Amino acid sequence: MMCDKFSNAYQISNVELGEIVGCSDRTIQSYILRLEEIGLLKSTRRIFDNKLLYKVYSVI
């Protein structure tokens, strides 16, 4: 997962975010999908290292 704040970007995995918040990475993924459904997050797909495809999220 990658989040944008202002013009800077930070990158954090669901596992790392789950450790900070105190829940599992599956719970984080569920919340992210729900926030995307209600329109608070926007996702795009980006390719890194010519192989890995990441979903990048931006706060709307």
What's the burial of 48, exposed, middle or buried (CB within 10 Å: 0-12/13-18/19+)?
A: exposed
pLDDT at 27: 94
What gap in Å lies between CA 9 and CA 37, rounded to an integer? Answer: 22
Domain boundaries, the chain: 2-59
**How does pLDDT run across 6-59, given as a tens digit for each residue?**
455 667 788 888 899 999 989 999 999 999 999 998 888 877 667 677 777 777
User: Does residue 38 sit in helix, strand or coil?
Assistant: coil
Look at the pTM and tell me if it is higher than 0.85. no
Report yes or no: 4 and 59 within 8 Å, Cβ to Cβ. Answer: yes
pLDDT at 12 (0 to 100): 78
41 token code pair:
């997050």
Confidence of residue 1 (pLDDT cuts 50, 70, 90): low
Q: Are 41 and 32 in contact (CB under 8 A)?
A: yes
CATH of 2-59, picked from 3.40.50, 1.10.287, 1.25.40, 1.10.10, is: 1.10.10
> Residue 26's pLDDT is what?
93
pLDDT of res. 38? 95
